[in-house]
Structure 1
Amino acid sequence: MILLAQFVIPLSISGTAVALPSIAAELGSAPTPLQWVVNGFNVSFAICTILWGAGSDRIGYSRTFRIGIVMTAAGGAVSALAPTVAMLDAGRVIAGIGSAAVLTGAAPLISRLFDGAKRAKAFALFGTINGLGLAAGPALCGLLLSAWGWRGIFAAHTAVLLIALLGSVWLPRFGRGTTSRGQLFDFSAMRAPRFLAMALVPVAGAVGFVTFLTYLPSALQAIHGLASGVVGALMLIMTVPVLLAPSVVHRVMRSGRVTPVPVVLASFACLLGGGVGVLLLLRPDLPVVLGVLPMILLGLGFGLPLGFVDAEALAAVPKDRAGAASGVLNLFRIGSEAVFVAAYAAVLSAVITHALPGSAGALTASGATGHPWVYRDGLVTAGLAMMALVFLLGAVFVVLSRAASRQSRNSVNVSAETQPLTAKR
């Protein structure tokens, strides 16, 4: 039931934008209210992860998880029945607040429910579901849109959450933590280099994968003039590695021959290689099939660390602070997605509208055909900026990982030195 509820959250993050044209046709196309159908969810989600993180340590992770499901389902129902864009925006904000509780409570629950190999396997599934929902969101929501309209997307999400709510009654109740009642914003987990290093991994995924996931469909239409069905099939190429990579990594790591750090470095390398490959090969004068391998690399780069990032991050903090740590981790994850997707769009649009002022530039930036080389110039500029950030994040990850290793060795040495003294006493 944890994974079922979890699956709906990334669908809402990446898939809702597919429905915007249909929503605009029925409820109105005023740009700011329409943008908040997506932004209202993302912003409320990002802000509330840290609040729910500290709160879950006080009220318990199971209770937080259930409250989140109820709120997210309520927001979905409001969205599905909304008579106006304003009401739809309100429903999306409610769903975002609830989703923050679902995701924040899920990771500590898994951490408490399982131990050893079962815990590693559970987090591998957790990562797979999270990545699959995000990567497949546009395609799945597109299918729902075709079958039942835009209201059907939110209705389907609500139905899945209600099933998860029924199943959540079997979750055990975990005791409250010891987080200070005056401490609503608990960022103490960031003092641990190991936690901070792992928190940068989803940020790199947001920069190097989610930005491309969001805007590659428009790029394929604008540069190659592909139909939406062909674009959807090509985007699935990025989804398959996300689905397969976490389970493969779990099996390899279970053998004991590979630790998380090399896997994360491989992830950074795939993101960089995939991103640069897409920028080099997505050209009007080259066949689109040349971009397939870079898209696979992007999917691998995002998928490789999904199965253990949350587990490794929570292992770096005390158990009674797991909720707060989960909130901080998800703030990094969701906040970075919102920030860098917006930054990518801003750079892309600025380059295109500078070259094509007026309505022609605005239409081209949205993915309209007619000016493929102009769109590609914007794509390259925005993409190179994202790849530079991935490289920088990789360098910071290496520094923090080394600091965490030194800290671990020092702790072992101190323990070894004090043990004889304790024995003598």
Structure 2
Amino acid sequence: MPRPRLLLTVILFAQFVIPLSISGTAVALPGIAADLGSDPTPLQWVVNGFNVSFAICTIAWGAFSDRIGYTRSFRIGIVIAAVGGIISALAPTLSILDAGRVIAGIGSAAVLTGAAPLLTHLFEGPARAKAFALFGTINGLGLAAGPALSGMLLSVWGWRGIFAVQAIVLTVALLGSTRLPRLGRGETSLRQLLDFSALKAPSFLAMTLVPVAGAIGFVTFLTYLPSALGAIHNLSSGVIGALMLTMTVPVLIAPTLVHRIMQSGRATPTSVIAVSFTMLIVGGVGVVLLLRPDLPVAVGIAPMVLLGLGFGLPLGFVDAEALAAVPSERAGAASGVINLLRIGSEAVFVAAYAAILAAIVTTTLPGNAGQLVASGGTGHPWIYHDGLVAAALTMIGLVALLGIAFVLIHRVSVRTSRKNTTPELNTETSPVQQ
């Protein structure tokens, strides 16, 4: 069998395309609208088609891969996602482009649900936990890099180049997947692989809220701020890509800084997570208040940095903290649940953000003009701003609710831990007292 590191590289390479598709596609909407039309429903489905089909098909592929084998479903998923990318790159109409994105989402769901069981089978003990930590980290890096990479591709090859490069990456991953051993097909049930009973542990449940909050409070903004910067400030794709680095660079730096601070004993995982929630909320509010047509774009940089830090701070340890709450023999299954919730929530809430924004914009400005503005077109910055405020405040409110839930569940976990570790009092009567 090939070296485990080589197999892990192949799996992570294929996985990397999923967060790129979630966070990087919206950058292309203005160019797509100019070439293929600005009807808001099919235009938004360029993003939502992938996200919705991905979220819906994740569970279905999990059950199907249990029958055909995880390696086979992983490869099939790569093929389907690559075909979706090719269709998207060559699409002559919006409807065909939407179909390509739906197909890519279906295939990506198979990639995810095949990848997690493969890691479970290929690695054991600490190596398995490390593999899943890398799995989560790659997802975070892919999300953070999505808008910037897509913006670069857009400026060089146009919007079709974004989907073409995704297809090329998947093709390379498909070639590498031929080295994977055949795993699955009756060896382990889906219930064992995605053991949702881990959510009964308060510590584990509390930690799963952290990546969900990151999806709502960071990924949604990361996905649609490029369109907002274009619609509100009429910036070029190159300038937008440079500005988005203020959100993405902190994601890369924060995990290393947190690791050093925690090693020094100056912070605990709980305190870092509390700061993370605070930064996501304050950063989101800052975007709402400062990303306005009557203010210079530079004043919006600070909240974008806060959003990046809020997402990046817990990125390096949240999976390990969650896995510490479950038995070591169930680490792979529990990690699968974390990543399923992480990536599934990204897809769902990015779609929800887009739906709210489009509804506000097209209600205020019906017709073709509103459709163009909703996709990030210029000409009516205040109307787009109104849509941004509605969508952003909804996401900020959800993050705040998750923050409250985290505090409450964490308190329950602390009380449970203390109760389990407190020695039982000897209530029997001693021989001397008798």
The TM tier, using the shorter chain, reads 0.7 to 0.9
**Is 1:291 matched with 2:288?**
no
**Is 1:161 matched with 2:170?**
yes
Q: Which residue of 2 aligns with 1:224?
A: 233
- Identity across matched positions, percent: 73
Q: Which stretch of structure 1 is more off in the superposition, 128-137 or 100-109?
A: 100-109
Aligned counterparts of 1:146 and 1:189: Cα–Cα separation in 2:
45
Q: Which residue of 2 aligns with 1:308?
A: 317
**Is 1:387 matched with 2:396?**
yes
Q: Which residue of 2 aligns with 1:278?
A: 287
Does the residue aligned with 2:255 lie in a helix, a strand or coil?
helix
- Alpha-carbon shift at residue 177 of structure 1 (Å): 5.5
Amino acid at match of 1:5: A
> 8 Å contact 1:124–1:306 — kept in the other structure?
no
Indicate how the Cα distance of structure 1 residues 53 and 241 shifts in structure 2: closer, same or farther if over 3 A, else same: farther
Aligned counterparts of 2:313 and 2:131: Cα–Cα separation in 1:
15
> 8 Å contact 2:52–2:348 — kept in the other structure?
no
Aligned counterparts of 2:32 and 2:370: Cα–Cα separation in 1:
23
Query: Cα RMSD between the aligned structures?
Result: 3.8
- Alpha-carbon shift at residue 271 of structure 1 (Å): 0.5
> 8 Å contact 1:13–1:42 — kept in the other structure?
yes
- Alpha-carbon shift at residue 131 of structure 1 (Å): 1.9
Indicate how the Cα distance of structure 1 residues 278 and 19 shifts in structure 2: closer, same or farther if over 3 A, else same: closer
Q: Which stretch of structure 1 is more off in the superposition, 197-206 or 13-22?
A: 13-22
Normalising by structure 2, report the TM-score.
0.79
Aligned counterparts of 2:196 and 2:32: Cα–Cα separation in 1:
38
Normalising by structure 1, report the TM-score.
0.80
Indicate how the Cα distance of structure 1 residues 190 and 247 shifts in structure 2: closer, same or farther if over 3 A, else same: same
Indicate how the Cα distance of structure 1 residues 89 and 196 shifts in structure 2: closer, same or farther if over 3 A, else same: same
- From 163, 186, 201, the equivalent of 1:192 is 201
Q: Which residue of 1 aligns with 2:57?
A: 48
Aligned counterparts of 2:28 and 2:146: Cα–Cα separation in 1:
12
Amino acid at match of 1:386: M
**Is 1:8 matched with 2:17?**
yes
Amino acid at match of 2:189: T
Indicate how the Cα distance of structure 1 residues 351 and 78 shifts in structure 2: closer, same or farther if over 3 A, else same: closer
Aligned counterparts of 1:329 and 1:323: Cα–Cα separation in 2:
10
> 8 Å contact 1:57–1:321 — kept in the other structure?
no
Does the residue aligned with 1:153 lie in a helix, a strand or coil?
helix
Q: Which residue of 1 aligns with 2:429?
A: none
Long gaps (5+) in structure 2: 1-8, 427-434
Q: Which residue of 2 aligns with 1:420?
A: none
Q: Which residue of 2 aligns with 1:204?
A: 213
> 8 Å contact 1:78–1:87 — kept in the other structure?
yes
Q: Which residue of 1 aligns with 2:103?
A: 94
Does the residue aligned with 2:292 lie in a helix, a strand or coil?
coil
Does the residue aligned with 2:315 lie in a helix, a strand or coil?
coil
- Alpha-carbon shift at residue 240 of structure 1 (Å): 0.5
**Is 1:179 matched with 2:183?**
no
Aligned counterparts of 1:342 and 1:162: Cα–Cα separation in 2:
27
Q: Which stretch of structure 1 is more off in the superposition, 387-396 or 130-139?
A: 130-139
Indicate how the Cα distance of structure 1 residues 345 and 81 shifts in structure 2: closer, same or farther if over 3 A, else same: closer
Q: Which stretch of structure 1 is more off in the superposition, 281-290 or 248-257?
A: 248-257
Aligned counterparts of 1:248 and 1:114: Cα–Cα separation in 2:
28
Long gaps (5+) in structure 1: 418-425
Amino acid at match of 2:206: A
- Alpha-carbon shift at residue 200 of structure 1 (Å): 1.8
> 8 Å contact 1:128–1:303 — kept in the other structure?
no
> 8 Å contact 1:72–1:96 — kept in the other structure?
yes
Amino acid at match of 2:293: P
Indicate how the Cα distance of structure 1 residues 113 and 22 shifts in structure 2: closer, same or farther if over 3 A, else same: same
Q: Which residue of 2 aligns with 1:148?
A: 157
> 8 Å contact 2:151–2:237 — kept in the other structure?
no
Aligned counterparts of 2:17 and 2:33: Cα–Cα separation in 1:
23
Q: Which stretch of structure 1 is more off in the superposition, 9-18 or 378-387?
A: 378-387
> 8 Å contact 1:279–1:383 — kept in the other structure?
yes
- From 98, 110, 113, the equivalent of 2:123 is 113
Aligned counterparts of 2:34 and 2:390: Cα–Cα separation in 1:
32
Aligned counterparts of 1:148 and 1:406: Cα–Cα separation in 2:
56
Q: Which residue of 2 aligns with 1:244?
A: 253
Does the residue aligned with 1:286 lie in a helix, a strand or coil?
coil
Q: Deviations over 1:52-107 (max 9, x none)?
A: 44566676655554443333234334444556555444433332222223233444
Q: Which residue of 2 aligns with 1:423?
A: none
- Alpha-carbon shift at residue 290 of structure 1 (Å): 1.9
- Alpha-carbon shift at residue 235 of structure 1 (Å): 1.1
Does the residue aligned with 2:28 lie in a helix, a strand or coil?
helix
Q: How many residues align?
A: 415
Aligned counterparts of 2:214 and 2:80: Cα–Cα separation in 1:
28
Q: Which stretch of structure 1 is more off in the superposition, 278-287 or 183-192?
A: 183-192
Amino acid at match of 1:271: L
- 1:53-92 to 2 correspondence within 5 Å? 53=62, 62=71, 64-82=73-91, 85-92=94-101
Does the residue aligned with 2:316 lie in a helix, a strand or coil?
coil
> 8 Å contact 2:55–2:344 — kept in the other structure?
yes
Aligned counterparts of 2:163 and 2:101: Cα–Cα separation in 1:
10
- Alpha-carbon shift at residue 159 of structure 1 (Å): 2.1
Q: Deviations over 1:302-336 (max 9, x none)?
A: 11222334444455456776676555444533443
Aligned counterparts of 1:88 and 1:348: Cα–Cα separation in 2:
21
Indicate how the Cα distance of structure 1 residues 288 and 94 shifts in structure 2: closer, same or farther if over 3 A, else same: closer
Indicate how the Cα distance of structure 1 residues 252 and 229 shifts in structure 2: closer, same or farther if over 3 A, else same: same
Q: Which stretch of structure 1 is more off in the superposition, 140-149 or 408-417?
A: 408-417
Amino acid at match of 2:123: L
Aligned counterparts of 2:19 and 2:98: Cα–Cα separation in 1:
18
Q: Deviations over 1:325-372 (max 9, x none)?
A: 555444533443344334333444454556556655555444444544
> 8 Å contact 2:147–2:226 — kept in the other structure?
no
Indicate how the Cα distance of structure 1 residues 242 and 27 shifts in structure 2: closer, same or farther if over 3 A, else same: same
